[in-house]
Structure formats: C-alpha cells, structure tokens
Amino acid sequence: MKDAEGNFEIPALVAAAHELKAPLVLLRQLSLQLQNCDDASRCAEITRRIKLTSERSLRLVDGLSKTARLEDAMFELKPIMINGVVNEVVSEIQPLADALNQEIRVKSRRRSVVVGHLDLIRTVLLGLLDNSLMAGTAKNKIDISFSAGREQLVLSVRDHGQKIDRKVYRSIMSNLGHGAVGVPDRPLSSGLGLFVATRFATYMKGSLSAVCHRRGGMTFKVSLPLSRQLELF
C-alpha cells in the first residue's frame, strides 16, 4: 500500500474509503430500521444482519492493516495443513452464507501441506468466499477445491454468479495486485479484498489468478508452494 518512498498510495486509499463506506451505510440503515421495529422476529433478523455486516467490515479492515505490515516481514512462513484452514474458514463464514441462502461445498479432502502463514491464508480465503457470496444470489453454490502439482497447491473458489464481460475480466486480471480495483459487474464484491489477497499470495511466494466462465461465475485460484517437509519421512 506504500510507494517506493513509503507514502500511502492514494488510489488504494480512495478505493478503501469507498469500500468501507458501503457496509457502514448499510449498518446505519439497519439501525434506523431497528429503531422503529416492533416485531420480535423482524428485530432478530435485523440484528443478525447488523452483526454479519459489521463482521464483514472488520475482516476487510483487518486484511488492510495486515497489508500495511507486509513490508516489515512480520509474517513467518511455515508448513500449514490446508484442509484444517479451509474447514475453519468455512465455519466462520457459514452464518453469512446461511443469511444469504447460499451453500459452500468443500470438494477436496486430500491432505495437503503448504508453506505459508495461517493468518494470511485465512484472510485470502475469507476474502474470496466473501466475494463469491456477494456475487451470488439465493440458492447459489460455491465450490472450494484444491489440487497439488509438483511444486504448488492450487486452491480454487468457484462461484456461479453472473457472467462477466470479457473486457471487465481483462481489466480485473491486468489490475490484480496493482490497485484496489472494483469489479464493475459485481458492485457488492470487494476489489479491495482481491487486492489484499493478491498481496498476501505474493508474499507467501504464491499467486492469485481468475477465470471467468461462459455460463456465468468466476473461479479465483490461489497458488501456494507445497511443503516438502513431509518428504523427509
């Protein structure tokens, strides 16, 4: 987020401000509604949405603040069992998926160990899942899968949101990691989340890429180096 002279990049700051405004606007609106609510079940639903929206904002802010600390190399990389992280993250974001009436499916069970940082991997995965949930509609399914090559593990998050225009897709791909670009056809998705995910993946000697699908939706893929420690046994 800082340029070569250590100054914060203005476009990223502006994008962050825009993105953080949206959930705050929603929180304000929900609290206005709660003020006048006299139906207990309706009030409970509004309260649930306030909680979920504020948690989303906190995740975004948390990811952003970690990005600022990357340059200080404060995140030690070590072997991480990816399956455990995936299951934990899915549990954490499940309430939001339930509220949006969408399903998250973990399609791979093979045990894989990568070299990374637990917190950074969690943030990347939470960001991609949040994006997918926001891009989808009720009854949508999101699939998480991972496959191991010789050197890298590829963790894929596939959503079935709307079709992305090819020009928009090229714009996303050319800007990943270079600026907090929004996703024009997916206003509720987080360009900032993709920016943070790209930075974290790069820090862990991995990468982030995306594929758009002809029938709709996107797959975001995070590649991370496989741990060779288990080969010693």
* Positions in the binding site for other proteins (CB under 8 A): 18, 21-22, 24-26, 28-30, 32-33, 36-37, 42, 46, 49, 53, 162, 185-188
Q: Which residues lie closer than 8 Å to 215 by C-beta, 6 or more apart?
A: 163
53 vs 108, beta carbon nearer other proteins: 53
Enumerate the β-bridge partners of residue 173.
Answer: none
16 vs 86, beta carbon nearer other proteins: 16
Rounded to a whole number of angstroms, the minimum distance from the CB of residue 137 to other proteins is: 9
Is the distance from CB of 52 to CB of 96 less than 8 angstroms? yes
121 vs 134, beta carbon nearer other proteins: 134
Rounded to a whole number of angstroms, the minimum distance from the CB of residue 216 to other proteins is: 11
Rounded to a whole number of angstroms, the minimum distance from the CB of residue 42 to other proteins is: 8
Is the distance from CB of 187 to CB of 162 less than 8 angstroms? no
Three-state DSSP class for residue 27: helix
24 vs 81, beta carbon nearer other proteins: 24
13 vs 68, beta carbon nearer other proteins: 13
Enumerate the β-bridge partners of residue 115.
Answer: 79
Rounded to a whole number of angstroms, the minimum distance from the CB of residue 146 to other proteins is: 29
19 vs 143, beta carbon nearer other proteins: 19
Q: For the chain, what's the residue count?
A: 233
Question: In whole angstroms, what separates CA 145 from the centre of its chain?
Answer: 15
Question: Cα(47)–Cα(231) distance, rounded to whole angstroms?
Answer: 50
Rounded to a whole number of angstroms, the minimum distance from the CB of residue 97 to other proteins is: 14
Structure tokens at 16: 């962050």
- 6: alpha, beta or left? (left if phi > 0; alpha if psi -120 to 50): left
Rounded to a whole number of angstroms, the minimum distance from the CB of residue 14 to other proteins is: 10
Q: What single-letter amino acid sits at 18?
A: H
